[in-house]
A and B are shown apart, each in its own frame.
Chain A
C-alpha cells in the first residue's frame, strides 16, 4: 500500500475516466445478502460503465459469485439498490434482468445436457413459428453464432452432454454474448478452456467493450485481468475492499489485496 486508505483509493478509482455527471450503465449501492446465518454480502457498492471491463477478484467465498448473481437477478438482494442507466430497478427474477440486457455466464454454465447445442444457445429465447419451434432457423443461427466467435463445434444438433468441458463453456459464453447484451458478467469463463480459446474469449471481451458493453470478469487467472480490464475490484469476506484503475496497480498489489494483507496493515 502506498499510504492512501483502501476507501480513498476506491473513490479515486471509480470517478476518473468518466465525465462529471455521466450516468453509469449500472450503479449498485449497499447490497446485502444473508443465507441463513451466513452474511454473504455486507454492503457492496459498485459502478459499471459502458465500454469498460471490470475485473472482480477475491478469495474463495469472498462473495463474487453471489454479488454477480444479484446483478443478474438470479438472487434477490436483502437490501440495497440497483440502477440501470440512472433508473432504479427492482427485479423479481432473472427474466427481467435478461430483458434489460444483463447477461451472465455462470460458473456452473447453466446448460441443459439433454438438449442440443442449438437449443441451448437459444434457450429461453427460442425462435418460433407460432407456438412451434423453428428448429431449422435455430440451427442456422447457432452455426453463425459459433462461427462468429470462432468456436469449433461441428454438429449443432449434438446433445450438450456429449461435448467436452471446454466446448460446454464455449457454448455458455456464446449464448450470453450473442444477443447484444448491455452488461455481460463472466464468472470464471476460462477455467476449462485451452490456450487458443482463452485468447478468443479475451478478444471477444475487447470487441464487446468496443461496442459499448459493460463487462464484468471474474477469474483466478490474474494475468488475464491485466490484458483486458480497465479496473479491478477486490472483494474480501463479503465486502469490496479496494478498487484500482489498471494503470495504477500491479499483480503484486492485487495479490496482496486478495489475501487481505493490504487492508489489515
Chain B
C-alpha cells in the first residue's frame, strides 16, 4: 500500500530568520561595533556622544532612505552628494541676501525635485543607464555650486533657520528627529503602500510591471525626484548645523549613503529593499566613524579602516548569512 503524506511546512521561526537574515545580521554587526567601541572608550556610551552620533547620522540617513527606493528599482543615484553641495550653497546665498528661511527652504526642496525630474527623465524615458546620468550629475551639479560660490564658504546670518540643524526637542537634536520621521515615512511607503509595491515590482521585473499596466517609466522617474528632494532636505540640515554653505560640502556622501543601503541588505540588483536595514546601515557607518575618532585612531587611517569594515560587513552579509538562510535563487 502506498502512503501519501503532505510535505511539512517549515517552522515560523526559521521562515522569519530566512526572510530577515540580512537585517538581523546588520543589527548584530551594529551591536558588535557599539560594544567594541564602548569597550575601548566608555565615552562612546555617554548620552552626549550618542545624541551627537544621531545628529551626525541624520543627513546620511535621510538620503539613504531615498537611495533605498532608487536601488530597489535597480538604479543608483551618484549625484546626491553634489545635490547637497548645490542646495547647501544656494540656500546660504539666498539667506545671506536676506530672503526668509521659510521661503528659501521650500524653494530648495523644489530645486532638489527639479534636478530629480531632469535626471529621472533621462533615465526612465531616454533609457540612459542611471549610473551614467547621475555620474554626469555628480560632476556638473557640483560645478554649478562652485560657480555660484566662487569656491568660497558662505556664512548664514543667524536666524531661526539654524535651529533646523542645532535645535533640540526634549533633548533630542532636530536633525535626528527629521531623520527618524523620514525613515518612518519611507518604511510605511515602501512596505504598505501601492507606490512601494510598484517600486519593488519595477525593480524585480520592469517589463512584467509594464505588462500588468503599471506606469513603470513614471515610477522609475519618481524615485530620482524623491532622491533629489531628500538630498535637498539633508543639505538644509547640513547648512543649518554648520551655519554656512559651501560648494565643498558632502564630498563622498554618495558613497556613505550607498554603503549604508547595501549594508542594510537592499539588493543592488533591484526588487528587494528594506528601510529598517538602511537605518541600521546608516547608524553603522556613523558608529564606525565616531568610534574610530574616540579610539584615537589617526584620522588618515580612518578612511582605510572604514573601507575595510564595510567590505567585511557586506561580505559577511552576502556570503555567510545567505548560506544560513539559503533561499533558492533562479
Contact = CB atoms under 8 A, between A and B. Distances in A.
A161 B267 CA distance: 14
A137 interface: no
B212 A124 contact: yes
Interface stretch (B92-100, B173-181, B196-204, B291-299): B196-204
Interface stretch (A112-120, A197-205, A235-243): A112-120
Contacts of A161: 327-330
Which residue, A74, A94, A123, has most C-beta atoms of chain B within 10 A? Answer: A123
Nearest to A119: B197
B192 interface: yes
Contacts, number: 82
B204 A115 contact: yes
Nearest to B272: A114
A112 B209 contact: yes
Contacts of B200: 112, 114-115
B327 A113 contact: no
B194 A113 contact: no
Contacts of A133: 192-194, 196-197
A162 interface: yes
Contact of B205 (A99, A113, A155): A113
* Size class of the contact patch on chain B: 20 to 34
B194 A94 contact: no
Interface string B310-330: 000000000000000001111
Interface in B182-215: 192-197, 200-201, 203-205, 207-214
Contacts of B194: 126, 128, 131-133
Interface of A: 72, 74, 93-95, 98-99, 104, 106, 110-115, 119, 123-126, 128, 131-133, 135, 154-155, 159, 161-162
Please name the 8 residue pairs, one residue from A and one from B, whose CB atoms are nearest each other, closest first: A124-B212, A95-B213, A114-B271, A112-B204, A110-B208, A124-B213, A114-B204, A114-B272
Interface of B: 7, 9, 192-197, 200-201, 203-205, 207-214, 267, 271-272, 327-330
Given A113-B205, A128-B194, 5 more contacts: A110-B205, A114-B271, A115-B204, A124-B213, A133-B197
